[in-house]
Structure 1
């Protein structure tokens, strides 16, 4: 968290600043866990000041702000990071402030404030060249975007693995953008058990998983992502997302399944992450149930 829908919501919120110039950049001094900056904060702010925003993109769970001079400001929100535009003055845990304006004279033009906030200090802010961006975030390192991947491509990338399908879907080198929430939701909609080894999925199951994943992600983007109980994520306009109200299994342990109306949602742990599923909708083959038991 944030995953593809949340970062895509950030991208859309920041995209309206395209063409604006960065009047000033600041890394506030905080008495909290620092995040990773590259280059160091002083050099980062110096190099950002005066630059113009030429585009705003997303690669998986990363926000890319493309600047003139063939450089890219890459923001990785990781667990609790979020990007906001014109936030409240009393906002805490702000890791980067950018003041932007479309006028040459920032003193006379209307300014906007772009901030990156991260309460747990796990995020990363880097200013890198376009060439480095292509090398580090290109197809050799990052898998296809989860919204664009086809079922046959996903199958071909994973069908020889023995790892559980839920764990494999979160591998960013296989497919970019999916994390714990949307992997659980997509598998439930596809009626595939999260512990089913990739090598045992049929072609029809690969189709179902991919189609369900696309549906879930598109719906989540429309509702501007999921704001969980900790309130760590909000949109760039500082409003909560709405997709948490549509979750069918995630954090619904003990509730009746909304899909079949019979099963009770269960929680297990896979790769140290809470995983939610319906034991009725998402059955394992009998031999696997016995082995796992």
Structure 2
């Protein structure tokens, strides 16, 4: 009986269909990680932009001018035509060329704007005016370029010398370095390879009937049996177990009994057998799903 399986192309088709059915998620205003949900009862970003545009005509939205508008530090009135955008209303915030901020406190009949006192520092800021200047290693950064020597940081040569000294100290204390660990790993791999190489000794192929007696075999001898066979009492698992042609068997030592009654004898041990695959579906019984199958889910 044929079974249908899903491919990556089917998944892409399924996504295409679901995207067409549902509204895409939208981030909450001001957030880069949290998405709006139905229970938030909040506006879309497009609606917020429309409300903001309408509100700017009623004087309820703060307005910023272009950076080239210079009110000077003692100015109290300004011609609204010099602003960008032109005009002004009570509550607007005006930024001058020095980046000082002023609130619009009144609008005269001739539309001249009256400004409140400057908010914050007047004039351009310098590096020395900044609070909480950054530091590296406890050294405060100065204006302009800062060299490693200015910050008391070791040059590359000194750092390399310190590293070499540290490695020497590790060696003196008897700790392993990368080189010594690599050598130990390499030696261990060689020892393991040699041990495995001596564990089995391929002896060739033979018919089961011509197999050498297990008592005359040597531990580690491996034979490839050319025909199907059924095990005898000479096998570790006992008699009566069927194996197909091409099975490899190895001679092993098996000890039975304990103490003075213990007896060690050679036995054959099968290295391969038959795996029952009846519980698996054959590749020829699989059929890939089609776009029509996915479309039918949305019909």
- Same fold, judged at TM 0.5 (above): no
TM-score under structure 1 normalisation?
Answer: 0.18
Q: Highest CA radius of gyration, 1 or 2?
A: 2
Q: Which has the higher contact order (CA 8 A, sep 6+)?
A: 1
TM-score under structure 2 normalisation?
Answer: 0.18
